[in-house]
């Protein structure tokens, strides 16, 4: 439905234009008339026209001035100017406002309709281009979101060395060579309430904190976040003065809005991407030691109760080996790696020894939760001696590995089939990985991994296969147009549908349909 406004101080001219347009377009247009520039300006917000026929010479606010005012808030409206004054100055004034159509009064029917056709076609081209741009931007946003998830998992699993910091910077579009972690701990409240708090915090962090912000998946009551900035330096003492006002303001607004407190642990800033996991562990342990009932519910790592975690070294590398083995459900490898790890830390005091074992399992379970593997609440290792702590750690690892293996055997294939079933039922809609993952209560990262590991294809590839298969089936019905089939199988753009179909089927949709007709004869 095209919405057109006619602005002219002469009623005869308004009525004549209305009649010309109505006879040509009928109920395909909605018309509204205004008798001067001031009235047009007053009506434009409510009516939201796409095209305005504007008389230049009118008493009060003339057409040129009205165009200037309307353009300020409605830049996409197209104007067709009408004037009995065939002068260069008037034409020049409106052309400076981006107006391309200029007709002399009284407008001849052929000229009026030709101008209206040209402007309508421009609007349609703009609409298609805007839709394509929106589609591309939506896909890009999803891709970036998935990439951020991969980056978060790489940090948490200590695998960032697979890509250099500069490569991650290029992929994510921001500097990742200086950053630190914060971990937010939530109270034990209803899930809906916590989700609302999380969404608010995410928006607040991204809009108020300097630099770039990556926010992970909430695991039970903990939300990990990484903040990056070019002007941060390792062990920068000024970080407190930079971050503290923002943290305090975040906590104040959160308390005022939700009437609940959260706890925030802040890790040390590091310059190398492969050190960010240390900052995460610092922030996590600091957050765990904070109390919702205390007046101050935030702390920097140095103020926490935990001992200082050493920077990345061979011990941390061994931690990563243990964690990866647990993540992959490789019990024998994980147990061997754990034996090596406890030997590495055997020179520590008993309290530090127990603490480091707890840190190891805490991070391992956090990663499993992020990837959709449901676990019971974490239980600390409590021991009076190193040997007791080692035995408890081995028993904990045995139970954890068995749980991972059992869970994957029970849920992996079943969850993948549930996702595939969801796709087959919803392929005609604008389907996203996030929606499908939410349906089976898994993280997008884990669903993507399930497809790669068990099907050998990506989520998008499977959706495309389902859509093209359905398109082929619908082509058997000669009463359905290719455009109709395109929309029926979930595509908005027939040209894009045609390209995808040809890539998958080897023929364009029209060629494929012709082949079907030939085979029937």
Domain locations along the chain: 2-128, 158-303, 314-408, 461-520
User: How far, CA to CA in Å, does 269 sit from each of 78, 179, 260, 288, 440?
Assistant: 53, 5, 28, 19, 36
- C-beta of residue 209 within 8 angstroms of C-beta of residue 191: no
Confidence (pLDDT) at 363: 81
Above 90 in pLDDT, residue 340?
A: no
Phi then psi for residue 101, to 5 deg, are -105, 130
DSSP category for residue 1: -
d(CA 405, CA 328) in angstroms, rounded, equals: 8
| pTM across the whole model | 0.44
Confidence (pLDDT) at 308: 43
Q: Which residues pair with 115 in a beta bridge?
A: none
Q: What is the mean pLDDT of residues 386-410?
A: 80
d(CA 476, CA 415) in angstroms, rounded, equals: 33
- C-beta of residue 338 within 8 angstroms of C-beta of residue 299: no
Phi then psi for residue 61, to 5 deg, are -80, 110
Q: What is the mean pLDDT of residues 140-157?
A: 64
Confidence of residue 141 (pLDDT cuts 50, 70, 90): low
Confidence (pLDDT) at 333: 73
d(CA 323, CA 156) in angstroms, rounded, equals: 10
Going by their DSSP bridges, the two strands 179-185 and 222-228 should be labelled as antiparallel
Above 80 in pLDDT, residue 327?
A: no
Three-class SS of 30-58: EEEEECCHHHHHHHHHHHCCCEEEEECCC
Q: What is the mean pLDDT of residues 330-343?
A: 77
Above 80 in pLDDT, residue 322?
A: yes
Instruction: Find which of 293-297, 300-304, 398-402 is predicted with most confidence, using mean pLDDT.
Output: 293-297
Confidence (pLDDT) at 53: 93
pLDDT tens by residue, 47-69: 999 999 999 888 889 888 999 99
Q: What is the mean pLDDT of residues 168-193?
A: 76
- C-beta of residue 448 within 8 angstroms of C-beta of residue 146: yes
Going by their DSSP bridges, the two strands 263-266 and 179-185 should be labelled as antiparallel
Q: What is the mean pLDDT of residues 153-171?
A: 59
Confidence (pLDDT) at 154: 65
Above 60 in pLDDT, residue 214?
A: yes
Confidence (pLDDT) at 300: 87
Confidence (pLDDT) at 302: 67
Above 80 in pLDDT, residue 84?
A: no
Confidence (pLDDT) at 485: 92
Greater pLDDT, 238 or 467 = 467
Taking every pair of Cα atoms in the chain, the longest distance, rounded to a whole number of angstroms, is 100
Q: Mean of the per-residue pLDDT values for the chain?
A: 80
Confidence (pLDDT) at 488: 92
Phi then psi for residue 444, to 5 deg, are -55, -40
37-41, 224-228, 241-245, 367-371, range with the lowest pLDDT: 367-371
Confidence (pLDDT) at 41: 94
Q: What architecture is domain 461-520?
A: Orthogonal Bundle (1.10)
CATH of domain 2-128: 3.40.50.2300
Sheet strands side by side (includes 29-34)? 29-34, 2-7, 51-55, 78-83, 101-104
**Percent above pLDDT 70 for the chain:** 79
Greater pLDDT, 86 or 56 = 56
Got the DSSP string for 136-179?
Answer: HHHHHHHHHHHHHHHHHHHHHTT-GGGS-HHHHHHHHTS--SSE
Greater pLDDT, 433 or 55 = 55
Confidence (pLDDT) at 307: 42
d(CA 49, CA 313) in angstroms, rounded, equals: 66
Greater pLDDT, 409 or 106 = 106
d(CA 415, CA 222) in angstroms, rounded, equals: 25
Confidence (pLDDT) at 152: 67
Helix 413-426 × helix 459-474 angle, to 10°: 40
For 345, residues 6+ apart whose C-beta sits below 8 A from its C-beta are 315, 352, 353, 356
Above 80 in pLDDT, residue 409?
A: no
Alpha carbons within 13 A on the beta-carbon side of 97: 27
Going by their DSSP bridges, the two strands 51-55 and 2-7 should be labelled as parallel
| Domain range 158-303, its CATH number among 3.30.70.270, 3.90.1150.10, 3.40.50.10470, 2.40.37.10 | 3.30.70.270
């Amino acid at each position: 439905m095209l919405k057109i406004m006619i602005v002219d101080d002469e009623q005869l001219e308004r009525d004549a234009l209305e009649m010309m347009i109505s006879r040509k377009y009928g109920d395909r247009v909605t018309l509204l008339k205004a008798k001067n520039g001031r009235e047009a300006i007053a009506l434009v917000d409510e009516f939201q026209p796409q095209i305005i026929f504007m008389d230049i010479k009118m008493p009060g606010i003339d057409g040129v001035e009205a165009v200037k005012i309307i353009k300020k808030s409605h830049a996409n409206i197209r104007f067709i100017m009408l004037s009995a004054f065939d002068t260069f100055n008037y034409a020049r004034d409106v052309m400076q406002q981006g107006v391309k159509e200029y007709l002399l009064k009284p407008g001849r029917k052929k000229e009026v309709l030709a101008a209206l056709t040209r402007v309508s076609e421009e609007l349609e081209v703009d609409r298609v281009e805007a839709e394509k741009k929106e589609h591309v931007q939506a896909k890009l946003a999803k891709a970036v979101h998935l990439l951020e998830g991969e980056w978060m998992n790489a940090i948490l699993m200590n695998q960032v060395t697979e890509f250099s910091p500069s490569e991650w910077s290029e992929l994510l579009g921001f500097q990742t060579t200086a950053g630190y972690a914060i971990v937010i701990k939530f109270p034990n409240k209803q899930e809906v309430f916590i989700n609302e708090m999380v969404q608010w915090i995410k928006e607040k962090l991204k809009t108020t904190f300097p630099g770039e912000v990556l926010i992970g998946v909430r695991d039970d009551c903990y939300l990990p976040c990484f903040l990056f900035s070019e002007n941060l330096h390792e062990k920068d003492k000024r970080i407190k003065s930079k971050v503290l006002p923002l943290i305090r303001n975040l906590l104040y607004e959160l308390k005022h809005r939700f009437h609940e407190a959260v706890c925030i642990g802040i890790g040390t800033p590091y310059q190398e991407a492969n050190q960010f996991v240390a900052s995460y562990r610092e922030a996590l342990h600091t957050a765990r030691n904070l109390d919702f009932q205390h007046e101050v519910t935030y702390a920097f790592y140095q103020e926490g109760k935990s001992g200082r975690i050493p920077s990345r070294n061979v011990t941390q590398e061994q931690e990563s080996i243990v964690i990866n083995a647990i993540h992959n459900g490789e019990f024998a490898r994980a147990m061997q790696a754990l034996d090596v790890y406890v030997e590495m830390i055997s020179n520590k005091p008993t309290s530090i020894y127990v603490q480091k074992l707890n840190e190891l399992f805490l991070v391992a379970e956090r990663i499993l939760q992020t990837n959709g593997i449901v676990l019971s609440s974490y239980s600390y290792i409590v021991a009076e001696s190193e040997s007791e702590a080692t035995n408890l750690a081995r028993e904990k690892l045995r139970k954890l590995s068995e749980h991972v293996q059992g869970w994957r055997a029970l849920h992996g294939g079943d969850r993948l089939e549930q996702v595939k079933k969801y796709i087959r039922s919803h392929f005609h809609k604008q389907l996203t990985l996030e929606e499908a993952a939410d349906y089976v209560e898994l993280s997008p990262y884990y669903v993507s991994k399930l497809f790669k590991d068990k099907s050998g294809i990506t989520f998008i590839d499977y959706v495309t296969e389902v859509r093209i298969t359905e398109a082929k089936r619908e082509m058997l019905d000669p009463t359905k147009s290719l455009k109709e089939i395109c929309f029926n199988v979930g595509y908005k753009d027939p040209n894009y549908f045609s390209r995808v179909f040809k890539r998958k089927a080897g023929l364009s949709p029209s060629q494929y349909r012709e082949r079907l007709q030939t085979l029937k004869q």
